[in-house]
Amino acid sequence: MKSTKARILDVAESAARRGGYHSFSFRDIADEIGIKSASIHYHFPTKGDLARALAERYRKEFFKALPAPRSVDRKTSLNELVNALRASSQQDGMMCLCGMMAAEVDALPPEAAKEARAFFKQGIDWLEQVLSDAEPNADKRLAKALAILAGLEGALITRRGLGVPSGFDIAAREIVETLTGEIITLR
Amino acid sequence: MKSTKARILDVAESAARRGGYHSFSFRDIADEIGIKSASIHYHFPTKGDLARALAERYRKEFFKALPAPRSVDRKTSLNELVNALRASSQQDGMMCLCGMMAAEVDALPPEAAKEARAFFKQGIDWLEQVLSDAEPNADKRLAKALAILAGLEGALITRRGLGVPSGFDIAAREIVETLTGEIITLR
DNA sequence: GTCTATAATTTGATAGAC
DNA sequence: GTCTATCAAATTATAGAC
């Protein structure tokens, strides 16, 4: 049995990934779970608290599911990253939570905006380490890391913009394979 | 002197590109212009009408500013595309309006969602024509078009996620140059 | 075209009983 | 922890005067 707190986070994350922070209300979440909106305030006093917790949980789970940067070979690491973001796209064409929050960052409560930024910092850091052997030049390594992360987040957007499920796969594979020379296996 | 209707569109576009469709109200827009929110309803009966008009104007202006696909060489075309989206990023780190709307597409009024999708269809179409000489294989051409559009939209997101103005430039250049072999000139 | 006035609903949030 | 009850403010939208 999942705790109420976890169920709130699950439902809110799903809503935020579909329409952003401003697209859902405490009542929306409460109704879907079958509780009252006042109960959500017990777990998360303000909506900003909820959004911050959403982004923090998402970031931690996301990177926990990825291999530590130098623990496996480059190809495996890149595969895991692509497939992690692809999972967002698969079930219902959802955005990456932090990609969504970065897009709307100017209209987020500051504490939530900060957590969203932490996801990108950690993502770039992870990628730079993954690319460290293949790309000894620091500037070029940063450029590739930025390009890969941008390409994957953008692939989620184009998939939604075109409404075609394969949109993510084609774009993501093209970007990562061209930039790294590694062959990606989607699963 | 700009018409009130145009000023409404200007201010609403800016708000939508910062925080998305749900982040601003008719009153926000009215206050900034110095009119009453009821006056906006005269020009745009519902918020869905406003959002649809926003996306339509954005799409038309965007592609009107780009060269016709085969009228100039590939390098020039790609340069124009990158710099057009870079303009979004430059002034205040804003998103592309239709990139933002694609991200939140599940929570948009249907008529607005449709217009946002039209932007991506037209963008892919434009890119496929630009790449037609260099890439005779249709599948590969589509893959490159998707990857370029995804990469540029994603570069806007990572720039916002990292909060670093150069984030767009570095990612966008790396993606387009690697995918096409053409050298990009930012201006 | 823009205003005042207002309706109808939704929103984030709090107090206090159980 | 979850509820009922309630609040103040904000939201989209309409009616009708000027």
Whether B1 has a pLDDT exceeding 90, the answer reads no
Q: Are A151 and B154 an interchain contact pair (Cβ–Cβ within 8 Å)?
A: yes
CB contact, 8 Å: B181 with chain A? no
Query: Which CA distances in Å does A25 have to A8, A132, A133?
Result: 12, 43, 46
Q: In the predicted model, what is the mean pLDDT of residues A27-49?
A: 98
Report pLDDT digits (tens) over B54-68.
Answer: 999 999 999 999 999
Q: What percent of chain A has pLDDT over 70?
A: 100
Whether B25 has a pLDDT exceeding 90, the answer reads yes
Contact flag, residue A26 CB and nucleic strand C, below 7 A: yes
Calculate the average pLDDT of chain B.
Answer: 97
Say which nucleotide is closest to residue B30, CA to C1' distance: C2
Interface test with B, best of A124, A137, A158 (most B CBs within 10 A): A158
Sign of CA dihedral B15, A157, A144, A63: positive
Whether B91 has a pLDDT exceeding 90, the answer reads no
Chain A residue whose CA is closest to B169: A143
Output the pLDDT for position A1.
Answer: 87
Number of H-type helices and E-type strands within chain A: 9, 0
Give the DSSP letter string of B140-173: HHHHHHHHHHHHHHHHHHHHHHHT-THHHHHHHH
**Separation of alpha carbons A49 and A92, rounded Å:** 26
Portion 25-84 of A in contact with B at CB < 8 A: none
- Burial track B106-145 (b if 16+ CB lie within 10 A, e otherwise): bbbeeebbebbbbbbebbbebbbebbeeebeeeeebbbbb
Calculate the average pLDDT of chain A.
Answer: 97
User: Would you place residue A166 in the very low, low, confident or very high pLDDT band (cuts 50, 70, 90)?
Assistant: very high
User: Would you place residue A91 in the very low, low, confident or very high pLDDT band (cuts 50, 70, 90)?
Assistant: confident
Output the pLDDT for position A108.
Answer: 98
Separation in Å, CA of B124 to nearest CA in chain A: 9
Residues of B in contact with A100 (CB under 8 A): 103-104
Burial (CB < 10 A; 0-12, 13-18, 19+), residue A3, is: exposed
Whether A31 has a pLDDT exceeding 90, the answer reads yes
One-letter amino acid for residue A66 of the chain: L
Count the helix, strand and coil residues of chain A and give each as a percent rounded to the nearest 5. 75, 0, 25
Q: Which residue is nearest to nucleotide C3 (CA to C1')?
A: B36
Pick from A175, A184, A49: nearest CA to B146: A175
Chain A residue whose CA is closest to B25: A22
Q: Provide the CB-side half-sphere exposure for A137 (13 A, CA).
A: 4
Output the pLDDT for position A29.
Answer: 98
**Separation of alpha carbons B147 and A152, rounded Å:** 9
Q: Are B170 and A98 an interchain contact pair (Cβ–Cβ within 8 Å)?
A: no
User: Would you place residue B76 in the very low, low, confident or very high pLDDT band (cuts 50, 70, 90)?
Assistant: very high
Q: Which residue has the higher pLDDT, A90 or A115?
A: A115
Whether B126 has a pLDDT exceeding 90, the answer reads yes
